[in-house]
A and B are shown apart, each in its own frame.
Chain A
Amino acid sequence: MNGAMNRRVLILLGPVAGIVMFLGVVWMASVFVGHNEYKEPYRAPAATADATPRAEGVAAEKAAAETKAKATPYTEAEYRRFPGVGSRVAIWSVAQLHLLFAAFVLAVPMFAFIIEVIGYKTGDERYDRLAHEFTNLLSVSFSLTATFGAFLTFMLIILYPKFTNYLMSVFSPTFLPYVLLFFFEAFFLYTYYYGWGKFHPLVHLGLGLGLNVVGTAIMMIANAWLTFMMSPRGISDTGAVLSVRDAIFNYTWLPINVHRFIANIAFGGSVAAAYAAFKFLQAETDEERAHYDWMGYIGNFVAISAFLPLPFAGYWLAKEIYAFSQTLGLTMMGGAFSWLFIIQAVLIGNLFLAANYYLWLGMGRVEGVQPLQKFIKYLLIGITLCFAVWATPRSIIATVSEIRAMGGSAHPILGYLGVMSAKNTAVNILILTTFMSFLLYRRTGKVATVAWAKIGHAAQLAIFATAAFIVIFLGVYGYFVEATVRIRLSVPQVSSVLMAMVSITAIDVFLFRGATRTGEVRWGRIPRISQYVLIFIAVTFTWLMGLMGYVRSGLRQHWHVYGVVRDTSPDAFTPTLGFATKVVSVTVLEFFLLIGVVFWIASLHDRPDFQRQAKTTRRTGAHEAELT
């Protein structure tokens, strides 16, 4: 009774205290302004005082300054300088942060939706819980994406006003739909998140689908702006707009849409897996560990599954860049940016190694894994060799005497591994090997019981061997044919790998239908180091996104819009790769600092209420006092 009274008094006192505080602030502000307001010192009225020569001089000076200011015509600034780091680095950093959060916000609903569908179809509530947990990360990330988007827009208007004005004039019809879609995005996102379990499952899935469709549409509009800058279309030589439709449907728009769509899923999956790893390492019970181990596995599975076809989307994008302008393509692969792809090879090689290592560690969860573990060393050898080939540069950094001894900047033997024939072969074999790791993991602890099991295994092996043979054969053949033929060889290489992955997976699904289990999957029984591997994968993915974002944008060199609007600012030069990688590193650190905040805010959801926690602490204290 007393407690209830106190509560009522508190409820009454709350607004009263608020009003008193508001009045107090108004009073303090008025006193402060009143006492500190600038007041002109008292001077005798002009009529009663003689004007001194000094006063006349001051008045004349003031009048002249006013006249001059009025006569100065208004001029529009072309560029403004950002203090310290300069305008380009400032824009670069903010744009990168915006894109990283946007990628995350677009990706998470995709796999949350798919996981929810699986949960709905199978009736397994674990999937529903997992999908909900993934969306926990969304709302804060969405706010940060919007904040960085607004920040980027203001920075562009302030620092690059003339160019921003031009871009806005070209794409003016796209802005209203963009804003409207943002409203829809917010509607779908919040109803999807807060409506979890409140609607019929199909209605909820509809909201998830809406969220994904709207999110993808937003991405495609923004992609039109940035791809136009790289491969402009629909304008005259002087930049006058001829067709907004053509400006949107420019050469690189569609490949960038596809590439980003897949890359976002890979990146989002890796960050969600890192979140699970963080929670796993924090977990205190076996149940929690089992859940977060599973969540991390799913996140990583999503990331690597999306990552495997990504190089193919990259080929398409590069092909379109060459089709638009051979000069642009050659600048990318053979000019100022060619060494960037060696750094990219190191990153992707690390991603493949880490992803495979995580899968091999994960095999320990399953009882009866020993028969398959003997294959791991062969996979490791294959991956390491491919990594080494991919990271071999065509030209070696060498001293003058070393170059003379080699007979050129390319090594007489290793130089052969630095060309596209070898690299295409290496990356395709790398993808096949990682796919094999997945397959091995998938069948750990299972024995196929279908009547055609032997034939099925043999067929899978034959398809795998054929795909590997085609890739290697065409890779070697590429050394003996002209460039025009060689370029086209990547298509059958890629197609054979894709065909192999699709057909082997299809056979596997039927092969292991109704399979007997030799051992259970013990979720949570995985070495702790595996969780650090997941975090490493997320950082590497993020860094890779930063690097590839740089090459896509930096490729334009001293052009805002390639070949049309020239960059005449002091930042028009192309920086060294060393400088670019420093900017990427700092941006990645900023992102992880912010994503740490997102994780922390998301984890508040699991905390007990403050009052309940306080009561529990008090009770525990009293109990302990009684005992003593």
Chain B
Amino acid sequence: MTVPLIARIGALVLATTAFYGYVGQMVPQKEVQPPAEVVLKSDLTTADMVKVGREIMEGKGLCLTCHTIGKSGALRFPDLAGVDGRAKSRVAGLSDVEYFAQSMYEPWAFIVPGFNPGMPPINKPPVGLTDQEILCVIAYLQTLGGTPTVTLQTKHHYNSGTTAAPPSQGVSPGGTQPEAPLKGEKR
């Protein structure tokens, strides 16, 4: 019995699409939900903030998409292990809290030597963390090489705090201050 041509072609098309569909089932399956809008309680302790901060870094903040913790070698973005120790003395005149805040609100103000600029302002979309959420992230970052000190009442330059304005002596990889924002910054 001869199978009609149209049936043979149909079977080939079906088998090919089924094969690629099957390959699609073989790779890891992960459904990514949009970040939930969570209102933080005002009475969070610093220890609670550390936990929340870690959660934000893994989820809504997307921090660990680029940054690593405890990895060495040829990295695209700075590793965060022991970052609090470096943050205290990274930029003259900035405490670790002010430095972390600057890194998130104004990421291009200072670029760690050896790396290219690439971090978006974290308080704006698409990440869009609130001031409280950023404080929680700072609390977690302080645990990496230091002791967390921030509370939800901590003030810094970017949340109408009283701290002095941070100097903008940013250092680009070439040793000069980046004059204009990067391509993606300004819409």
Contact = CB atoms under 8 A, between A and B. Distances in A.
B85 interface: no
Nearest to A567: B34
B5 interface: yes
A326 B120 contact: yes
A61 B114 CA distance: 76
Contact of B124 (A237, A397, A482, A532): A237
Nearest to A323: B183
A327 B34 contact: no
Given A343-B23, A543-B20, A592 B13 contact: yes
Interface in A220-274: 231-237, 251
Given A323-B183, A325-B184, A336 B30 contact: yes
B66 interface: yes
Given A278-B9, A327-B65, A562-B126, A251 B20 contact: no
Nearest to B17: A585
Highest count of chain A CB atoms <10 Å: which of B13, B35, B74, B125:
B13
B165 to A, nearest CB: 23
A539 interface: yes
Contacts of B30: 336, 576-577
Given A278-B9, A482-B114, A483-B76, A557 B187 contact: no
A536 B12 contact: yes
Residue in A234, A483, A566 whose Cβ sees the most chain B Cβ within 10 Å: A483
A195 interface: no
A589 B125 contact: no
Which of B14, B16, B25, B65 has the largest count of A CB atoms less than 10 A from its CB?
Answer: B16
A233 B187 contact: yes
B21 interface: yes
B2 interface: no
Contacts of B184: 231, 251, 323-326
Interface in B162-185: 173, 182-184
B118 interface: yes
Given A483-B74, A574-B31, A580-B24, A540 B16 contact: yes
Interface in B111-126: 114-116, 118-120, 124-126
A342 interface: yes
A280 to B, nearest CB: 10
Contacts of B72: none
A323 to B, nearest CB: 5
A330 B116 contact: no
Contacts of A331: 62, 65
Chain B contact residues: over half helix, strand or loop, or mixed? loop
A347 B187 contact: no
B32 A557 contact: yes
Contacts of B114: 482
A290 interface: no
Nearest to A595: B13
B29 interface: yes
Contacts of A535: 9, 12-13
Given A539-B17, A585-B18, A484 B34 contact: no
B178 to A, nearest CB: 14
A588 B19 CA distance: 13
Interface in B1-45: 5, 8-9, 12-14, 16-18, 20-21, 23-25, 27-35
Contacts of A340: 27
Nearest to A487: B76
A543 to B, nearest CB: 5
A578 interface: yes
Contacts, number: 143
Nearest to A565: B125
Contacts of B20: 343, 346-347, 540, 543, 581, 584-585
Given A339-B28, A573-B31, A577-B29, A585 B21 contact: yes
Interface residues of B, number: 44
A323 B31 CA distance: 26
A519 interface: no
**Which one of A327, A589, A592 has the highest number of Cβ atoms from chain B below 10 Å of its Cβ?**
A327
A206 interface: no
Nearest to B22: A581
A576 B34 CA distance: 14
A397 B28 contact: yes
Contacts of B21: 581-582, 584-585
Given A567-B34, A585-B20, A559 B74 contact: no
B69 interface: no
A334 interface: yes
A317 to B, nearest CB: 14
B25 A578 contact: yes
A573 B5 contact: no
A416 to B, nearest CB: 12
Contacts of B182: 323
Interface in A438-456: none
B105 to A, nearest CB: 14
Contacts of B14: 589
A322 B117 CA distance: 11
A368 interface: no
Interface string A307-343: 0000000000000001111110011001110011011
B24 A589 contact: no
A114 interface: no
A376 to B, nearest CB: 24
A326 B121 CA distance: 12
Given A326-B118, A543-B17, A581-B21, A563 B125 contact: yes
Contacts of B16: 536, 539-540, 543
A580 B35 CA distance: 21
A514 interface: no
A322 B32 CA distance: 21
Given A543-B16, A557-B34, A574-B32, A326 B119 contact: yes
Contacts of A234: 187
Contacts of B118: 322, 326
Nearest to A533: B12
A343 B20 CA distance: 8
A385 B13 CA distance: 27
Interface of B: 5, 8-9, 12-14, 16-18, 20-21, 23-25, 27-35, 62, 65-66, 74-76, 114-116, 118-120, 124-127, 173, 182-184, 187
Given A557-B34, A573-B32, 17 more contacts: A237-B187, A335-B65, A339-B27, A481-B74, A484-B76, A536-B12, A539-B17, A540-B16, A563-B124, A563-B125, A573-B33, A576-B29, A581-B21, A581-B23, A582-B24, A585-B20, A585-B24
16 contacts: A251-B184, A282-B5, A323-B184, A325-B184, A327-B126, A331-B62, A343-B27, A346-B23, A484-B115, A484-B173, A557-B32, A567-B34, A578-B27, A580-B24, A581-B23, A581-B25
Top 8 nearest A-B pairs by Cβ distance? A581-B24, A558-B34, A326-B118, A563-B126, A563-B125, A576-B29, A585-B21, A574-B32
Interface of A: 231-237, 251, 278, 281-282, 322-327, 330-331, 334-336, 339-340, 342-343, 346-347, 397, 481-484, 486, 532, 535-536, 539-540, 543, 557-559, 562-564, 566-567, 572-582, 584-585, 588-589, 592
